[in-house]
């Protein structure tokens, strides 16, 4: 097989292979995939303090099928102007994994230390 055909076959194979999931660190349920990573306010990863001065390092994802929103959406103490938030819990075990943001553009902010990345 020529090198060009080999590269084309490799490329087609990598495109067909499903993304390995980011998992809940507690129960290992699939939460999201790397292709869902997005930038919000110019960055994928953010460090924010909540009103109780707890720091959270989180990544933004356009979708996370493995989380369930909890609570009534609120704009109180939101980290992103024009967005309301709800807690995001692992659908499998209920662990708090981050927040679901709704507004002009919806996204999920997931606490990185509460996830097991695909290569873990």
Give the tens place of pLDDT for each residue, 38-84: 999 999 999 999 999 999 999 999 999 999 999 999 999 999 999 99
Q: Is residue 39 part of a domain?
A: yes
Is residue 5 pLDDT above 70, yes or no?
Answer: no
- Report residue 12: phi and psi, to 5°: -65, -40
Q: What is the mean pLDDT of the chain?
A: 89
Q: Is residue 92 part of a domain?
A: yes
Q: Is residue 98 part of a domain?
A: yes
Domain count across the chain: 1
Q: Is residue 9 part of a domain?
A: no
Is residue 10 pLDDT above 70, yes or no?
Answer: no
> How, if at all, do strands 55-61 and 107-111 pair?
antiparallel
Look up the domain containing 29 and give its range.
20-116
Q: Is residue 60 part of a domain?
A: yes
Is 30 in contact with 66 (CB distance < 8 Å)? yes
- What's the CATH code of the domain at 74? 2.170.150.20
Its pTM stands at: 0.83
Q: Is residue 111 part of a domain?
A: yes
């Amino acid at each position: 097989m020529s090198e060009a055909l080999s590269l084309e076959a490799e490329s087609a194979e990598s495109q067909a292979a499903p993304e390995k999931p980011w998992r809940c660190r507690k129960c290992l349920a699939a939460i999201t995939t790397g292709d869902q990573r997005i930038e919000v306010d110019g960055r994928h990863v953010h460090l924010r303090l909540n009103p109780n001065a707890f720091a959270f390092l989180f990544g933004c994802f356009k979708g996370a099928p493995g989380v369930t929103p909890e609570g009534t959406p609120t704009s109180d103490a939101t980290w992103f102007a024009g967005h309301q938030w709800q807690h995001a819990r692992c659908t499998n075990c209920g662990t708090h994994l981050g927040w679901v943001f709704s507004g002009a553009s919806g996204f999920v902010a997931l606490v990185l230390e509460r996830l097991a990345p695909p290569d873990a």
